């Protein structure tokens, strides 16, 4: 249920509605736009029924009461009344007019590899630094990531470059260690529907980059986001990374239509991962330009100083030496959609 307040509603009137919703056992989610405040009453079926019986239509300051039409209530565009969510990652904005360039190696391999990459992407204007310490590999015999040592190297790369870190969490048991380092916790495509993991990230409150599952519909992706949001963590970015289709000429099919459609359905920022969709480097630039031009709020891309020797995902990694040109081209494409690269905002004195 959504309670749309009048433009003239006072703070006391808004608070009175919130109090009533909470007394009925539901949670009140407040969202204030430029003109009106909208209060979402979020609860289970029983709580929804109690809120419905409150007769909020007659309450002072209330304009109208409307049902939330989607099963993903907190992720829906309806709940913010068209206002888009803008995340703040350590002073960098993601969403709105800010475009996030998230770059780094697939996996942390060594101190030299991680620090070299971090410097290159920082110098080219990247917003955030990516790198996996725990890797979801198809084969159990493949390199699984450096684990704790990888996290330590990510912390060092952040200390040196100032770039906030995006790194994947696969196992709740590694949560505390990952939270020590991650400014954004990546939930990989294979874990998109790992509901206990999503719930724990929701409780941890740390920003999350939620990747679309290999065969997940947009509704399923948004329901997965809802698990995080429901725990009171509003900092979720959705990520399109290619889906399984009948096509075999490339690794996955990058579903760029998902970008405008997700932005129609949801207020959450939408990031595109061209690297994992493509599987090969030559496709990464054109897909990145298309993603930026179609209105993505950012790109997460793999970069390596020496892709031919990369332990993991080398064929799709951009070469570090060409990364500045790549970043410039992406910046121009993002400008077509009215976005500029997110820079660190000077801290207020
Ligand atoms: C990754 O980002 O390195 C990764 C494994 O991505 P995905 O979960 O999309 O396959
Ligand atoms: Mn990878």
What pTM was estimated for this model as a whole? 0.95
* Ligand 1 center to 135 CA (angstroms): 8
How far is 206 from 184, CA to CA, in rounded Å? 6
3-class secondary-structure state, position 235: coil
* Atom in ligand 1 nearest the alpha carbon of residue 191: 8
Q: Name beta bridge partners: 50.
A: none
Do both 161 and 235 map to the same domain?
yes
Q: Which backbone phi and psi does 52 adopt, to 5 degrees?
A: -60, -35
Do both 110 and 256 map to the same domain?
yes
Task: Domain of residue 45: give its range.
Answer: 2-67
Q: Closest by alpha carbon to 209, among 122, 261, 155, 272?
A: 272
Tens of pLDDT along the chain (349 residues) come to 899 999 999 999 999 999 999 999 999 999 888 888 999 999 888 888 888 888 899 899 999 999 988 999 999 999 998 899 999 999 999 999 999 999 999 999 999 999 999 999 999 999 999 999 999 999 999 999 999 999 999 999 999 999 999 999 999 999 999 999 999 999 999 999 999 999 999 999 999 999 999 999 999 999 999 999 999 999 999 999 999 999 999 999 999 999 999 999 999 999 999 999 999 999 999 999 999 999 999 999 999 999 999 999 999 999 999 999 999 999 999 999 999 998 766 555 4
Domain final position from 67, 101, 123: 67
Q: Between vectors from CA 164 to CA 253 and to CA 299, what angle results, nearest 5°?
A: 20
Do both 151 and 26 map to the same domain?
no
Do both 162 and 29 map to the same domain?
no
Domain final position from 67, 95, 119: 67
Q: Is the CB of 60 under 6 A from ligand 1?
A: no
Domain count, the chain: 2
* Inside any domain, residue 78: no
How far is 198 from 96, CA to CA, in rounded Å? 25
Do both 188 and 287 map to the same domain?
yes
Q: Minimum-distance ligand to the CA of 244?
A: 1
């Amino acid at each position: 249920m959504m309670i749309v307040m009048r433009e003239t509603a006072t703070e006391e009137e808004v608070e009175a509605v919130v109090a009533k919703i909470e007394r009925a056992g539901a949670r009140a989610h407040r969202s204030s736009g430029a003109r009106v405040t909208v209060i979402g009453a979020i609860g289970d079926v029983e709580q929804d029924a109690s809120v419905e019986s409150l007769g909020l239509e007659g309450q002072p300051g209330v304009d109208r009461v409307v049902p939330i039409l989607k099963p993903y209530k907190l992720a829906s565009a309806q709940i913010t009344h068209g206002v888009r969510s803008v995340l703040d990652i350590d002073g960098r904005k993601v969403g709105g007019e800010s475009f996030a360039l998230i770059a780094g190696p697939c996996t942390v391999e060594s101190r030299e590899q991680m620090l070299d990459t971090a410097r290159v992407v920082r110098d080219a204007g990247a917003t955030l630094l990516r790198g996996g310490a725990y890797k979801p590999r198809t084969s159990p015999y493949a390199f699984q990531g450096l684990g704790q040592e990888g996290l330590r190297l990510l912390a060092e790369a952040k200390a040196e470059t100032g770039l906030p870190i995006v790194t994947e969490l696969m196992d709740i048991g590694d949560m505390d260690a990952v939270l020590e380092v991650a400014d954004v916790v990546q939930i990989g495509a294979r874990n998109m529907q790992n509901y206990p993991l999503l719930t724990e990230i929701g409780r941890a409150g740390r920003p999350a980059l939620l990747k679309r599952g290999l065969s997940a519909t947009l509704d399923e992706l948004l329901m997965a986001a809802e698990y995080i949001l429901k725990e009171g963590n509003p900092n979720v970015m959705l990520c399109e990374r290619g889906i399984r289709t009948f096509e075999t000429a490339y690794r996955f099919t990058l579903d760029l239509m998902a970008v405008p459609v997700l932005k129609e359905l949801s207020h959450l920022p939408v990031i595109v991962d061209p690297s994992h969709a493509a599987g090969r480097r030559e496709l990464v630039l054109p897909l990145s330009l298309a993603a930026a031009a179609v209105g993505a709020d950012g790109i997460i891309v793999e970069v390596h100083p020496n892709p031919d020797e990369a332990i993991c995902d080398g064929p799709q990694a951009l070469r570090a030496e060409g990364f500045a040109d790549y970043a410039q081209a992406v910046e121009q494409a993002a400008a077509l959609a009215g976005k500029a690269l997110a820079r660190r905002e000077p801290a207020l004195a």
